[in-house]
Amino acid sequence: MQQPLSKAAGGIEAVIDRLGSLTAWIALAMIGLVATNVVLRYAFSFGSVWAQELEWHLLAALILLGMSHALQRGDNVRVDLFYARFSPRTKQVVDVVSALLLIAISVHFIQLSLGYVEQSRSIAEASPDPGGIPYRWLVKSLIPLGYGLLVLQQLAHLVRLFQQQHTPVGNGAKEDGHV
């Protein structure tokens, strides 16, 4: 039973890792866009509603697609001052409870956002500003997608935590609970 779960966890982690690489490119595109918008605005007194809205949409994509990758890498915010002093068993309990809590919260956000996205899609919501970006529902659809990725990442994390629990110390198990 552990082998299929381990393969599934590995597949999830591979997808999250690829999306993390994509978010790095999104960040680079966003930096270029912001720099271009600033130069155009202040050097040439030229601005674009579409370009400014694209900045917001890219930021939403960066955050919503990147948060599962940050968790996978252990780049999330945690009170390491306390966590570092915990025993390996206490760290594992904290990690399991945290993963389960994040899954519950993420599922709730998914449930809340599906109606929000559908409403936006059904009315063909677009930017209210002239020259803005159409299809606003597309960026809103990143909300359930991003939280769905968080659920998948936390499920993979739980598989790794339970595998670690059954792996004898000295067989490559990490002490801090991050895989």
Q: Is-above-0.95 flag for pTM?
A: no
The pLDDT score that the predictor gives to residue 175 is: 45
Q: At residue 30, does pLDDT exceed 90? A: yes
Higher pLDDT, residue 127 or 106? 106
The pLDDT score that the predictor gives to residue 61 is: 93
Q: At residue 49, does pLDDT exceed 50? A: yes
DSSP the chain: -HHHHHHHHHHHHHHHHHHHHHHHHHHHHHHHHHHHHHHHHHHH----HHHHHHHHHHHHHHHHHHHHHHHHHT-S---HHHHTTS-HHHHHHHHHHHHHHHHHHHHHHHHHHHHHHHHHHHTT---SSTT--S-HHHHHTHHHHHHHHHHHHHHHHHHHHHHHHTSPTTSS--TTS--
Higher pLDDT, residue 70 or 176? 70
Q: At residue 170, does pLDDT exceed 90? A: no
pLDDT confidence band for 178 (50 / 70 / 90) = very low
The pLDDT score that the predictor gives to residue 166 is: 66
Higher pLDDT, residue 109 or 85? 109
